């Protein structure tokens, strides 16, 4: 399946699809990033995007979007744990 451009996803106007595509792009950018300062910013954006996707998913009630579920599960698995 060909990767959609952010412009084409935005034109469709589906916020969940837009955020899913953004999360994929941020994840790819994180994987390629070697600059600690840029990595921190990308990680923050990724966390915020995943949080927003989670919020949309919670209000949606649609369990058919396995791709979104996989993104959210991956974000939770890689989230650093805070020391209490």
Query: How confident is the model over 57-62, as a mean pLDDT?
Result: 72
| Residue whose pair of structure tokens reads 């805070």 in the numeric block | 82
pLDDT of residue 49 exceeding 90, the answer is yes
Q: Where would I find the beta strands (DSSP E) of the chain?
A: none
Q: Answer yes or no: pTM beyond 0.75.
A: no
Query: How confident is the model over 14-25, as a mean pLDDT?
Result: 92
d(CA 22, CA 61): 22
pLDDT of residue 16 exceeding 60, the answer is yes
User: Tell me, what's the pLDDT at 83?
Assistant: 57
Mean of all residue pLDDT scores within the chain: 82
> Residue 2: pLDDT band by 50, 70, 90 thresholds?
low
């Amino acid at each position: 399946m060909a990767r959609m451009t952010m412009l084409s996803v935005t034109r469709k106007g589906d916020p969940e699809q837009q955020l899913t595509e953004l999360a994929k792009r941020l994840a790819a950018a994180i994987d390629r990033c070697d600059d600690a300062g840029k990595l921190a910013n990308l990680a923050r954006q990724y966390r915020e995007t995943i949080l927003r996707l989670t919020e949309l998913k919670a209000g949606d009630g649609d369990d058919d979007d396995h791709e979104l579920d996989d993104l959210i599960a991956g974000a939770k698995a890689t989230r650093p744990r805070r020391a209490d």
